């Protein structure tokens, strides 16, 4: 989970994921034409996203096409939902304690 959250912490990587999701699949060159960074920067970001399991790469002739791998995003969303639920339970318990008469 740490690799996923670290990869998603960067706004450019989130933009790359959004762009890939819109395209279905794309090369680093296509992504660089749409985004305000160099192709080399896109390749580095894609490498980080790949190591985190958020994108997959497939060779097609001389091109490498990248696609979003939604399973890791789904797992991250489930984890965040679980953490949020735990915090909600804790905050509800604190609220009940604070509102209980005679606990001043």
Can you state the angle between helices 11-23 and 39-51, rounded to 10 degrees?
Answer: 90
Please say whether the beta carbons of 44 and 28 come within 8 A. no
Residue pLDDT, tens place only, 23-66:
999 999 999 999 999 999 999 999 999 999 999 999 989 999 99
pLDDT score of 88 = 79
Closest CA to 66 of 32, 101, 90: 32
Residue pLDDT, tens place only, 79-88:
889 988 888 7
Residue with the bigger pLDDT between 102 and 95: it is 95
For 5-69, give the DSSP string.
HHHHTSHHHHHHHHHHHHHSSB-HHHHHHHSSS-HHHHHHHHHHHHHTTSEEEEEETTEEEEEE-
Residue pLDDT, tens place only, 1-33:
889 999 999 999 999 999 999 999 999 999 999
pLDDT score of 1 = 86
Residue 17 CA to residue 96 CA, distance in Å, equals 42
User: Has residue 104 got a pLDDT over 70?
Assistant: no
């Amino acid at each position: 989970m740490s690799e996923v959250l670290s990869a998603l912490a960067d706004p450019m990587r989130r933009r790359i994921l959004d762009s890939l999701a819109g395209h279905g699949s794309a090369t680093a060159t296509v992504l660089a034409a749409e985004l305000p960074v160099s192709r080399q920067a896109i390749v580095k970001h894609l490498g980080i996203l790949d190591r985190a399991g958020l994108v997959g790469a497939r060779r097609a002739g001389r091109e490498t096409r990248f696609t979003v791998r939604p399973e890791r995003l789904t797992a991250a969303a489930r984890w965040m939902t679980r953490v949020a639920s735990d915090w909600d339970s804790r905050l509800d318990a604190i609220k009940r304690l604070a509102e209980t008469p005679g606990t001043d």
